[in-house]
Each structure stands twice: as structure tokens, then as C-alpha cells.
Amino acid sequence: MLVRQLLLFVLAAWSLTACSLISVKQDPFPPLQIRADRPPPGPARVVLTASSIEIKDKVQFEFGKAELLEVSFPLLNDVAAMLKDNPQIESLQVEGHTDAVGSAASNRKLSTERAEAVRTYLTKQGIAKGRLVAKGFGPDKPIASNDDDAGREQNRRVEFNILKQGPKKTVVQDE
């Protein structure tokens, strides 16, 4: 019992000396001036060439389906903007391509449905339906070998080829 009382006394004395409140008045830190520059814009994802609208990214679909994934909407919006900015493009072929996995007939059907899905999306963005032609080629026009995953990935694509264009129209303002 005596040891217990002695222990309590020591703990009480220690807590009185160890838990003192000290307040120090200090000037506030000066505000930090933070400056960040925007990085330069990256390369354009949509480029107009003499014969096509090239996309530097992939149009993404649900696996085995013609349903566009939301991640592709900004890319397709850029394609729509390119078409709006270039009314001289009178007819654009939206081409769907697949790899060679599966039957050629089912791949042609899927690629046609995917090209139609892209065409539908672009018309909903204000592009006249008559300016767009959808065509699916399935595995018939590979750009890489279908013998490995990397080649098959390259073959699964959407392309935009210009079928007809008139002269570029320049707007001149009167002074």
C-alpha cells in the first residue's frame, strides 16, 4: 500500500511539472507567393491533312460492342469542331476497322456498327448527316500484323477519310 501511495505521489508531482502551458507570441509567417506556369499545350489530337482527319488517340468502344465509351467523347468533339471549322469538307467517310480475331463476317458487321455509332455521335454534335458516310471494313485493311497483341491493337481503329471537298471558303469582312 505504501508503495502504491508513493507511486501516485510521484506521478502527481511529475504531471504538475511536465504539463505546463507556455504561450509564445510570434509574428505570423509571411504569405508565400506561389506561381505556376501552365505547361505548353501538347500536340493536337485531331489534325486535318489533304485527304483525311487524323486522330492521334483511339476511339474507345465497349468490348465486342458498338457502344462508345465516354472517354472518347472529347476526342470526337474535337473531330466535330474540325468539321465545323472546315465546311469545305463536303463528304467524310467514317471507317471502322477490327483485328482478325473471330470471323471476318462478324468483324465486318461490328466495324460497320461502330462506324455508324461514331457517325451518329457526330450528327448529335451538329454535323449534317449528309456530310458523313459510315463504312466498316472489319479485318480487311490491316495496318499492322495480326500475329501479336500490339499489331492487333493498331488494327482496331476508326479513321476519317475525306471523300469530297470544295475550295476553302474565306470570310472577308468589309471595313
Q: Is 131 buried (19+), middle (13-18) or exposed (0-12) by CB count in 10 A? A: middle
Q: Choose the CATH number for 46-165 among 3.30.1330.60, 3.40.640.10, 3.40.50.300, 3.40.190.150.
A: 3.30.1330.60
Give me the pLDDT at residue 54, please: 96
User: In 81-115, which positions are buried (b, 16+ CB within 10 angstroms) versus exposed (e)?
Assistant: ebbeeeeebeebbbbbbbbbeeeeeebbebbbbbb
Do residues 96 and 158 make contact, with C-beta atoms less than 8 angstroms apart?
yes
Over residues 6-30, the pLDDT tens digits come to 666 666 665 555 555 566 677 777 8
From 112, 74, 93, select the one nearest 160 (Cα to Cα).
Answer: 93
- pLDDT tens, residue order, the chain (175 aa): 666 776 666 666 655 555 555 666 777 778 878 888 888 877 889 999 999 999 999 999 999 999 999 999 999 999 999 999 999 999 999 999 999 999 999 999 999 999 999 999 999 999 999 999 999 999 999 999 999 999 999 999 999 999 999 887 655 555 5
Instruction: Write down the pLDDT at residue 145.
Output: 96
